[in-house]
Chain A
Amino acid sequence: MGWFKRLKEGIQTSTVNKRETPEGVWYNCKRCKETSRVKTVKDNFYKCPKCNYHIRIGSHDYFSLLFDVEEYTELFTDIMPKDALNFTDLKSYKERLEITQKQVGLTDAMAVAEGTIENRPIIIAAMDFAFIGGSMGSVVGEKIARAIDRCIEKRIPLLIISKSGGARMMEAAFSLMQMAKTAVKLSQLAKAGIPYFSLLTDPTTGGVTASYAMLGDINMAEPESLIGFAGPRVIKETIKKDLPEGFQTSEFLLEHGFLDFVVDRKDLRDRLADLLFLFNQKSILTNKVLSTKTKL
């Protein structure tokens, strides 16, 4: 297989995000309730042409939107979830995994791919909300860890696209430890002087926000995404008050100093290309800076 695998448009995307990506002819906006042609929506970066609502899309949709000529190689596809705890609630975790895998055509909530944006290499790790609410379990942690190893080895920047309800309860403490695991790996990436861009999308909450999503050298978010640590329902129950308008949105986080900028999906590729260009330019201080860097 060549370095890049050619993916025909639509093949991955049509099976991947059954629940999220619009299919058929007409799209009914979740927010403004207006109807648009699916073709128009797709050409509009999966945003509602009427109200600019950013539809929740999957990992491969982002790969297609971002990589040059929609070419990329998916990595670490052999990492599969495991029911280490023999977890059962109303359904067994094993069963839940099988059903979800069949329904959404993914193996877990994260896909990693390597490719280029404006001819500059980048590794993108993107989450899939369709897979058990984009929850973070051992697979997500391991894929991020391996992506970081590859970024360090090849000196390639990393982009993580977060879209998650938080940790995966069915993996209990293992999922909690993924917060630590991804953080220790990011500390290595930082030490190696390789840029990490974090894109937060709707929604990003819980243990994902409280680990890698908030740790970018650049933190950015799609407009009007729900971003927070605790979920709005829990906060409301705790403080026994209604939450203010716009609370825990991207714009709220920007205002409070936790994001570098909010980026419309149509501008995302260009913005990333600019970041890659700027972070990649030879610094006039190169020798000085590199000499203080610890060799990994």
Chain B
Amino acid sequence: MKQVAQKVNAMVFLEFEEPLKNLYNQLDKIKDVASAGDVDVSIMERELMQKIKDKRKEIYSSLTGWQKVQVSRHPERPYTLYYIEQMCNKFIELHGDRYFADDKAIVGGIADLDGETVMIIGHQKGVNIKMRQYRNFGMANPEGYRKALRLMKTAERFGFPIVTLIDTPGAFPGLEAEERGQAEAIARNLIEMAQLKVPIVCVVIGEGASGGAIGIGLGDRVYMLENTWYSVISPESCSSILWRSWDYKEQAAEALKLTADDMYEFGLIDGIIKEPVGGAHSAPEVMARALRRHLKKVLTELTQFSAEQLVQQRIEKYVNMGEFNVGTVR
């Protein structure tokens, strides 16, 4: 999984990572030379590796909104099941909403997180072309949200904290999704999550697009990984509606102020979890360790509150979200 171990032509580079690609190309050439003869290239190799490290740091220290959107969609980015596998000792996946079907775009189950049973639920994207289809690109149908709610209710009954991992380009806009009440499913989750008597911690691990994201994203604490985004609409759709063209996604991404930094500044999330330099995909196991440490810390903090306090604080937190003026008409 580590990129350094791969050949450059097997690696996925985003457009703004072009300088990195060039350096990796050079590295490949040096290695070829080395394998062809008995020239010692170890010094050159080390220098080049340092250059790559510096360049990556430089690029990733000043990403624009649109670039972060691209990182959040990187095909090698870790998804929910990867994090669960890395963070938890035992995980039993639970399937089905008990009414209609088992949605493959939202997964969930009970797991042991450092000696504590938690209910962990998240959007799941596919790891290869075939699986992307199978997971419907992380776009859930109503049964996905209903499965999530069922698991959350189970967690509440047994006093397990709930962790949700958000990573979706949106709830699925399909014909059957409408027939089965996509809107009702999301709305129901929101009103039910408001009153759940156990701690809920939500983390945006990739894309946080609109109702599809918040449908499992109402919690006592909400965090975002450093290179993720959270918004009411994707930059592309925003561009097509407000600019009446698909070509203004960069501007839309800026205008929407959708990065973790923006969201934290607005007080709409509770914190940002740092990613390894080069993004979560460049060192997934490092990312998973950081996420686990963070979750453990936050869940421990939340144990100090009674169920009533949790619900009360959760309600107050969301009631305070909104920017308006108070006064008379001009």
Chain A positions within 8 Å of B, measured between CB atoms, are: 78-82, 84-85, 87-90, 101, 107, 138-139, 141-142, 145, 167-169, 171-181, 183-188, 190-191, 206-207, 209-215, 228-231, 234-235, 238-239, 241, 243-244, 247-248, 256-258
Interface centre among B171, B324, B328 (most CB of A within 10 A): B324
For the complex, give the distance between the alpha carbons of A187 and B311 in Å.
Answer: 11
Q: List the B side residues contacting A138 at CB < 8 Å.
A: 321-324
B233 near A80: Cβ-Cβ < 8 Å: no
A177 & B322 in contact (Cβ 8 Å cutoff): yes
Q: A183-B187, A191-B195, A239-B175 are in contact. Are A142 and B266 (CB under 8 A)?
A: no
**Distance of A31 Cα from B188 Cα, bound (Å):** 34
B212-227 CB contacts (< 8 Å) to partner A: 214-215, 217-218
User: Which B residues are CB-close (under 8 A) to A234?
Assistant: 173
Which residue of B has the minimal Cβ distance to A91? B242
Q: Residue of B at shortest CB range from A234?
A: B173
Which A-chain residue is minimally distant from B139 (CB atoms)? A238
Instruction: Tell me the smallest distance from the CB of B156 to a CB of chain A, in Å.
Output: 14
Among B179, B193, B217, B318, contact of A181 (Cβ-Cβ < 8 Å): B318
- Which of B114-122, B251-259, B275-283 contacts the other chain? B251-259
B322 cross-chain contacts in A, Cβ below 8 A:
138-139, 141-142, 174, 177-178, 181
Bound together, the chains give a CA A290 to CA B195 distance in angstroms of 19
CB of B272 within 8 A of chain A? no
Which of A84, A185, A228 has a CB less than 8 Å from the CB of B183?
A228
Chain A residues with Cβ under 8 A from B244's Cβ?
A: 90
Residues from chain A with Cβ under 8 Å of B325 in the complex:
79-82
With A and B bound together, what is the CA distance between A231 and B171 in angstroms?
12
Contact of A184 with B233 in the complex, beta carbons under 8 Å: no
A-B residue pairs in contact (CB < 8 Å), sample of 12? A80-B324, A90-B242, A172-B231, A172-B233, A178-B321, A180-B318, A180-B321, A181-B319, A214-B187, A230-B182, A234-B173, A257-B181
Interface string of B299-330 (1 = CB under 8 A from A): 00000000000000011001101111111110
Interface string of B221-239 (1 = CB under 8 A from A): 0000000001111000010
Given contacts A180-B190, A188-B315, contact A84 B323 (CB under 8 A): yes
Query: Do A210 and B187 contact each other (CB < 8 Å), given the known contacts A101-B329, A228-B178?
Result: yes
Residues of A within 8 A of B173 (CB): 229-231, 234-235, 238
B243 within 8 A of A: yes
Which chain A residue has the least Cβ–Cβ distance from B215? A210
Knowing that A169-B238, A214-B188 touch, tell me 18 more A-B residue pairs with CB under 8 angstroms.
A78-B327, A82-B325, A90-B244, A138-B321, A169-B241, A172-B256, A176-B214, A179-B214, A180-B318, A181-B318, A183-B187, A183-B190, A184-B314, A186-B191, A187-B195, A214-B187, A247-B178, A248-B178
Q: Contacts of B178 on A, CB cut-off 8 Å?
A: 228-230, 235, 247-248
> Which of A139, A174, A184, A185 lies in contact with B268, CB distance below 8 A?
A174
B294 at the interface (CB under 8 A from A): no
Does B149 touch A at the CB level, under 8 Å? no
Size bracket, chain B contacts: 35 or more
**Shortest Cβ distance from residue B231 to the other chain A in the assembled complex, whole angstroms:** 6
- Indicate whether A183 sits within 8 Å of B211 (C-beta atoms), given known contacts A173-B257, A174-B322, A258-B184: no
Instruction: Please name all residues of chain B whose beta carbon is closer than 8 Å to the beta carbon of A145 when the two chains form the complex.
Output: 319
**B37 interfacial by beta-carbon distance below 8 Å:** no
Residues in B whose Cβ lies below 8 Å from that of A186: 191
Nearest 6 pairs of A and B residues by beta carbon: A230-B173, A183-B190, A84-B323, A138-B322, A209-B183, A89-B242
Chain B's nearest CB lies how many Å from the CB of A125? 15
A176 near B175 with CB under 8 A, answer no
The answer to whether A183 touches B231 (Cβ under 8 A) is no
B257: which A residues are within 8 A, CB to CB? 85, 172-173
Would you call B181 and A107 a contact (CB within 8 A)? no
Cβ 8 A contact of B326, one of A78, A173, A177, A191: A78
> Is B177 engaged at the interface, CB distance under 8 Å to the other chain?
yes
Residues of A within 8 A of B191 (CB): 183-184, 186-187, 190, 215
A101 to B183, CA, bound (A): 30
Chain B residues with CB under 8 Å of A215's CB are 187-188, 191
Q: What 0/1 pattern do residues 14 to 37 of B give for CB contact below 8 A with A?
A: 000000000000000000000000
Within the complex, the shortest CB–CB distance from B173 to chain A, in Å, comes to 3
B263 within 8 A of A: yes
- Contact yes or no, A173 B183, CB < 8 A: no
Q: How far is the CB of A212 from chain B (nearest CB, A)?
A: 7
Which residue of chain B is the closest to A88 with respect to CB atoms? Answer: B255
Residue of A nearest to B218 (CB): A180
Select the residue from A175, A180, A234 with max chain B CB neighbours within 10 A: A180
Q: Is the CB of B324 within 8 A of A139?
A: yes
- List residues of chain A with CB within 8 A of the CB of B179: 256
Docked Cα-Cα span, A252 to B47, in Å, equals 66
* Cβ contact within 8 Å between B186 and A229: yes
